Structure 1
Amino acid sequence: MTPLENVPIPHVLKPVLSTLQLWGIAVGLVISGEYFGWSYGWASAGTLGFTITSIFVAAMYTTFIFSFTELTTSIPQAGGPFAYSKRAYGPTAGYLAGAATLIEFVFAPPAIALAIGAYLNVQFSTLDPKTAAVCAYLVFMTLNIVGVRIAATFELAVTLLAIFELLVFMGVVAPSFSMSNFTKGGWSGMDSFSLASIPGMFAAIPFAIWFFLAIEGVAMAAEEAKDPKRSIPIAYITGILTLVVLAIGVMVFAGGTGDWTKLANINDPLPQAMKTVVGESSGWLHMLVWLGLFGLVASFHGIILGYSRQIFALAREAYLPAYFAKIHPRFKTPHRAILAGGVVGIVAIYSDELIKIGGQTLTANIVTMAVFGAILMYIISMFSLFRLRRTEPDMVRPFRAPLYPYFPAFALFGACVCMITMIYYNPLIFGIFVGFMALGYVYFLMTANNRSRAIAQMAQDLN
């Protein structure tokens, strides 16, 4: 039987994306993490404890991206981690990586949509944040359906505006920055480090991950890149470096402007931090709110692109119903996959009683759910890299992970530490995560014949 990887696929995506557009997707997927979500880490770790956690996570992500790029350029398919794991270990590993990635990319957008609603609520106090979140889904699902080139160009534009706004924020609050503000109570509410600070640092891991979550989504646009072997490494490496610099700057300047504890459990920390400096009526504040939306929109829009390609890739190979592998006849985009992920996200927005667990906010728990999916996928991907190096040493690798095996080993170690810690501090959310994975696995077992027929059909199309 012809291996699926070597069979031309009748459902194809158009290669139209440039290197600059891929960089815009890489940064845009993540940049909302600089605007909100991360500050929840201060609630448990304090500013200094969270800084240590963030440095560890940044090192994990940097080594992961340098390693992951080898897989992306060697196997440039829309399924991303699903395709790498299936090639390394077979269909079951492919399912695990694909399902984990799907949970990450489907649960991240509702958290971002709620933050969009919170930002708009600052300007329009009568606007319900959930209503605004649903409207955001409708607008950006439509834009993604219209065409990937238009979507990527829009993504690049809003990403550049979002970076500009973060730089403006840092510039405006810099004169009021005080290191004493940043360090006060910086070790889980204490002024000096003690062993009691360590649990809070571990508990803050999901929110440090939020600084960088979803950058790997560029892999899901690989089929649509004009020159993936060249452009993806450039996009990934420059993207992660851009995000590390911005994350450090935003966190330090926001924490040093005043009482950082007031920013620890809210969805709009940057406007509130700036408000303490310039006042409620300042034009700077209103500009931050409006332009700050571009950061949220960039990630929201980009992750819709990511989840739709993951649903499409899984459906194309019969891991999900084939209905979702349909490409729009005019726009050549996976429109049904785009709509399917949107429905799940909108349901999550209104599922307060299901997702609001453990005394944390709805947004915090959605973030944690998405992070569980991401970390499982990182672990499987690094194992896949090691296995493919051993089983397919002659595979064409346009980019090879530097300092192999140390970089992927550190990324794997960091991901395992994050997973163990998150399970310990979030057992209920982990239970829900496992429940989703188990339900998907039941479907996976029930549809084995469908995958066999899909392979046979593709082999027939080849002949």
Structure 2
Amino acid sequence: MADAAATDGRLLKRLGFAFAAAVGLGAMVGAGLMRTSGSVIDEMPFPWLVLALWAFGGVHVLLSANVASELVTSIPRTGGIFVAVREAFGDSMGLLAGWVTYLSYGAAAASLSIVCADFLTILLPSLAGYTAPVACLFLLPVIAIHLLGVREGGMAQTIGSSVKLMLLCAVIGIAFFADPPRPGAFTQVAQDNAPALGFFAVIVAYQMVYGAYAGWDSAIVFVEEDKNALTNIPRAMALSIGAVALVYVLFNVSIMQALDLETIRASDLPVALVLGNVFGPGGATAVAVLAIILASTALNANIMGGPRILFGLARDGLFPAMASRVNAGGTPHVAFAITAAMIVLMIFSGSFEFVFRLMGALIIFGFVIYDASLFRLRGSQPDLPRPFRAIGYPVLPALVLLIDTGLLIAFIAADPMSGLTMAVLIALCIPIGIVLHRKKMPTTKQEPEYEILR
């Protein structure tokens, strides 16, 4: 296997538009959608307001993608949001943004592996009680595919996302055209007195909606591996977000068309009830298969993204340099090995749940400073080439910065421990970032290789 030295420190350009769209779609849509739809309705039992919230989520991340498109095409380096944050605000904030997103990828991969194992026990009940080993059986073959090379991993993601989208469309069609046993939620709410709705209920509901869109930015992690990144990634993000927003709205419409309000609110998995009404006992099997496909394609996207963030951190001197090695297939194999070990430890320890509880406000904080990076770089580096300039600057970027800041405040208000944790991590990252900056080798100051993309 060749490493970063043999390949001149570069990842291989073997991906294109189809992959960029597929990885965003694959990362966003997971098995959690089937549970989240019911949980949002439980918090906000107003069908049209529920749909408005899902649509607003799509608009929100489209505004975020508008900012990301300028930043990733201006500084097309592998690593995700930390790249622009570090360029704008220095090593300390870059380190914080990098580690928050890297840990979130790892926690998501651990969670998705366990989701696959849980649903497999519906098909094979004898596996009950072996959740962690079975979860690793889902994880390790995916890693093996990616160690072959970026082309093989990209092909797996593109095919998986296509199958996922077709299955979701089939479920939506079944729910729309199936004859419901009782009038659906839309009819019922029109007849009943509207229940009270509180501010925190809306915040909790939107946290779940926003979480369902998590991963919209996955394509930017692969900017150095895309053959035409400066055009493909902005278009792919817009396409994948638009498609997912449409699917999310239609999925919720179909659920509320097929089930009454009380049934949805009382169920952890309303789509299972929909398919059960159509297929009878076979509905549980259909849900299990659907969930495994949704979760495994999202797992694939998270496993691809995490090591590339670690690769970027290592190359920029914010992690040991060995993680920047690349094998002959174009995969950062050392970063993959480190990431795989971390995910396996999370699976067996259950620590990913702890990470998830801490990540909500931290990820929002990461996007707040990412949004702010656009304004900082416009001021500090006005001559930086910008192949894509954020649409509606400064109004639309300022709007998404305002939305993300408001969400950060609301999330901290709902969970003050997240705010305290965030403050502690910032306090730790500042001195660590200063030390790492001083210890960097001179080679890390070289002109970055993204110049070749301009």
TM-score (norm 1): 0.84
Give CA-to-partner distance per residue, 1:413-463, whole Å, 9 cap, x none: 22112212222223345555655665555643443343244526889xxxx
Of 98-107 and 403-412, the range deviating more from structure 2:
98-107
Are 2:170 and 1:181 equivalent residues in the alignment?
Answer: no
Distance 1:439-1:388 versus aligned 2 partners, 3 A rule: closer
Distance 1:331-1:47 versus aligned 2 partners, 3 A rule: farther
The answer on whether the counterparts of 2:28 and 2:214 sit within 8 Å (CA) in structure 1 is: yes
Distance 1:122-1:234 versus aligned 2 partners, 3 A rule: same
In structure 2, C-alpha distance between the alignment counterparts of 1:184 and 1:454, rounded to whole Å: 66
The answer on whether the counterparts of 1:165 and 1:288 sit within 8 Å (CA) in structure 2 is: no
In structure 2, C-alpha distance between the alignment counterparts of 1:118 and 1:23, rounded to whole Å: 28
Superposed displacement of residue 374, structure 1: 2.9
Distance 1:301-1:442 versus aligned 2 partners, 3 A rule: farther
Are 2:149 and 1:139 equivalent residues in the alignment?
Answer: no
The answer on whether the counterparts of 1:19 and 1:235 sit within 8 Å (CA) in structure 2 is: yes
Superposed displacement of residue 381, structure 1: 1.3
Are 2:176 and 1:161 equivalent residues in the alignment?
Answer: no
Which of 16, 40, 56 in structure 2 is aligned with 1:18? 16
Of 38-47 and 21-30, the range deviating more from structure 2:
38-47
The answer on whether the counterparts of 1:206 and 1:367 sit within 8 Å (CA) in structure 2 is: no
* 1:55-74 mapped onto 2 (5 Å cutoff): 55-74=55-74
The answer on whether the counterparts of 1:107 and 1:369 sit within 8 Å (CA) in structure 2 is: no
Superposed displacement of residue 122, structure 1: 2.3
The answer on whether the counterparts of 1:99 and 1:437 sit within 8 Å (CA) in structure 2 is: no
Paired residue secondary structure (2:295): helix
Superposed displacement of residue 36, structure 1: 4.4
Partner of 1:340: 338
Identity %: 20
Superposed displacement of residue 144, structure 1: 1.8
Are 2:207 and 1:218 equivalent residues in the alignment?
Answer: no
Which of 360, 369, 380 in structure 2 is aligned with 1:380? 369
Superposed displacement of residue 232, structure 1: 1.0
In structure 2, C-alpha distance between the alignment counterparts of 1:56 and 1:290, rounded to whole Å: 30
Partner of 2:452: none
In structure 2, C-alpha distance between the alignment counterparts of 1:243 and 1:88, rounded to whole Å: 31
In structure 1, C-alpha distance between the alignment counterparts of 2:214 and 2:349, rounded to whole Å: 23
Of 240-249 and 295-304, the range deviating more from structure 2:
295-304
Give CA-to-partner distance per residue, 1:66-99, whole Å, 9 cap, x none: 2211111121110221111122222223223222
Superposed displacement of residue 336, structure 1: 2.0
Partner of 1:396: 385
Which of 328, 331, 338 in structure 1 is aligned with 2:329? 331
* 1:296-311 mapped onto 2 (5 Å cutoff): 296-311=295-310
Partner of 1:3: none
In structure 1, C-alpha distance between the alignment counterparts of 2:262 and 2:114, rounded to whole Å: 21
In structure 1, C-alpha distance between the alignment counterparts of 2:233 and 2:346, rounded to whole Å: 32
Amino acid at match of 1:22: A
In structure 2, C-alpha distance between the alignment counterparts of 1:213 and 1:162, rounded to whole Å: 17
Partner of 1:82: 82
In structure 1, C-alpha distance between the alignment counterparts of 2:387 and 2:264, rounded to whole Å: 44
Are 2:302 and 1:286 equivalent residues in the alignment?
Answer: no
The answer on whether the counterparts of 2:188 and 2:260 sit within 8 Å (CA) in structure 1 is: no
In structure 1, C-alpha distance between the alignment counterparts of 2:261 and 2:423, rounded to whole Å: 35
TM-score (norm 2): 0.86
In structure 2, C-alpha distance between the alignment counterparts of 1:172 and 1:250, rounded to whole Å: 11
In structure 1, C-alpha distance between the alignment counterparts of 2:232 and 2:313, rounded to whole Å: 24
Amino acid at match of 1:44: E
Distance 1:193-1:398 versus aligned 2 partners, 3 A rule: farther
Paired residue secondary structure (1:382): helix
Partner of 1:204: 205
In structure 2, C-alpha distance between the alignment counterparts of 1:264 and 1:103, rounded to whole Å: 32
Distance 1:184-1:351 versus aligned 2 partners, 3 A rule: farther
Partner of 1:358: none
Of 265-274 and 309-318, the range deviating more from structure 2:
265-274
Distance 1:395-1:456 versus aligned 2 partners, 3 A rule: closer
Give CA-to-partner distance per residue, 1:116-142, whole Å, 9 cap, x none: 223222222232443332222212122
Superposed displacement of residue 15, structure 1: 0.8
Partner of 2:402: 413
In structure 2, C-alpha distance between the alignment counterparts of 1:71 and 1:453, rounded to whole Å: 25
In structure 2, C-alpha distance between the alignment counterparts of 1:302 and 1:124, rounded to whole Å: 26
Superposed displacement of residue 228, structure 1: 0.7
Amino acid at match of 2:83: A
Paired residue secondary structure (1:319): coil
Superposed displacement of residue 210, structure 1: 2.1
Amino acid at match of 2:123: Q
Partner of 2:444: 455
The answer on whether the counterparts of 1:165 and 1:291 sit within 8 Å (CA) in structure 2 is: yes
Root-mean-square deviation (Å): 3.1
Amino acid at match of 1:168: A
Give CA-to-partner distance per residue, 1:400-422, whole Å, 9 cap, x none: 21111222112112211221222
* 1:50-129 mapped onto 2 (5 Å cutoff): 50-128=50-128, 129=131
Give CA-to-partner distance per residue, 1:371-411, whole Å, 9 cap, x none: 43431221111101112222222322121211112221121
Superposed displacement of residue 52, structure 1: 4.2
In structure 2, C-alpha distance between the alignment counterparts of 1:457 and 1:39, rounded to whole Å: 51
Distance 1:314-1:290 versus aligned 2 partners, 3 A rule: same
The answer on whether the counterparts of 1:309 and 1:334 sit within 8 Å (CA) in structure 2 is: yes
The answer on whether the counterparts of 2:93 and 2:430 sit within 8 Å (CA) in structure 1 is: no
Q: How many residues end up aligned between the 2 structures? A: 437
Are 2:295 and 1:320 equivalent residues in the alignment?
Answer: no
The answer on whether the counterparts of 1:119 and 1:268 sit within 8 Å (CA) in structure 2 is: no
In structure 2, C-alpha distance between the alignment counterparts of 1:54 and 1:327, rounded to whole Å: 39
In structure 2, C-alpha distance between the alignment counterparts of 1:267 and 1:310, rounded to whole Å: 34
The answer on whether the counterparts of 1:257 and 1:276 sit within 8 Å (CA) in structure 2 is: no
Amino acid at match of 1:424: A
